[in-house]
Amino acid sequence: MPNEFSIDYTEACLVLNDSPKASSALSRRCLQHILREKAGIKKGDLGSEIQQVIDSEKLPSHITDSIDAIRNIGNYAAHPMKSKETGEIVEVEPGEAEWNLDVIEMLFDYYFVQPEKTKQKRELLNKKLSDIGKPHLK
C-alpha cells in the first residue's frame, strides 16, 4: 500500500477505540485522497466527488452502495450537528467509524491489492508461456 494513502487510514485505525469521531474524520480525508488520485475525478467538494465516482460506474456496486456513508459520518464527525428530535449533538458511534474503515479497505483492495495480485499472476503465467514458446497473455 503506498504510504501516501495508508497514513490517514492507519491513524484512523489507531484512534478508533479512543475517538470514533477522529477516526471518521480521518477516513473521510482518506476517501477524498483516494478518489482524487485513483478514481480520476475532478476536484470539488466531497459530495460532488463521490457523485462523480458513482456516476462513472467504475466501482463495484458493493463499494458505491457504502461510499457516501463516509461523507455523511465524516460530516457529523467534523461539524457539530444537532438532532432535530433531541437537540443533542450527534456523535459518531464506533460501528459507524468501523464501517468507514471497511469501505476504505474495499477501496484499497480495488485500487491496489487486486491489481497487484493480477499483475503477479500474469507475470508467472507469461514466464511459463515463454518457457514453452507460446505468446504472452493479451
Query: Which tens digits make up the pLDDT trace of 81-93?
Result: 888 889 988 888 9
Residue 91 near residue 54 (C-beta atoms within 8 A): no
pLDDT at 68: 87
Q: What is the rounded CA–CA span in Å between residue 121 and residue 110? A: 16
Q: What is the pLDDT of residue 99?
A: 95
- As a whole number of Å, the end-to-end CA separation of the chain is 27
- Per-residue HEC secondary structure of 52-67 comes to HHHHHCCCCHHHHHHH
| Residue 52: per-residue pLDDT | 95
Return the C-alpha cell found at 81. 450537528
For residue 97, report the phi and psi dihedrals to the nearest 5 degrees: -65, -40
Burial of 63 (0-12, 13-18, 19+ CB in 10 A): middle
Domain ranges of the chain: 3-111
Q: Is the dihedral of CA 29, 32, 38, 43 positive or negative?
A: negative
Q: What is the mean pLDDT of residues 28-44?
A: 93
pTM: 0.86
The distance of Cα 40 from the centroid of its chain, to the nearest Å, equals: 14
Has residue 77 got a pLDDT over 90? Answer: no
Q: Give the C-alpha separation, 108 to 111, whole Å.
A: 5
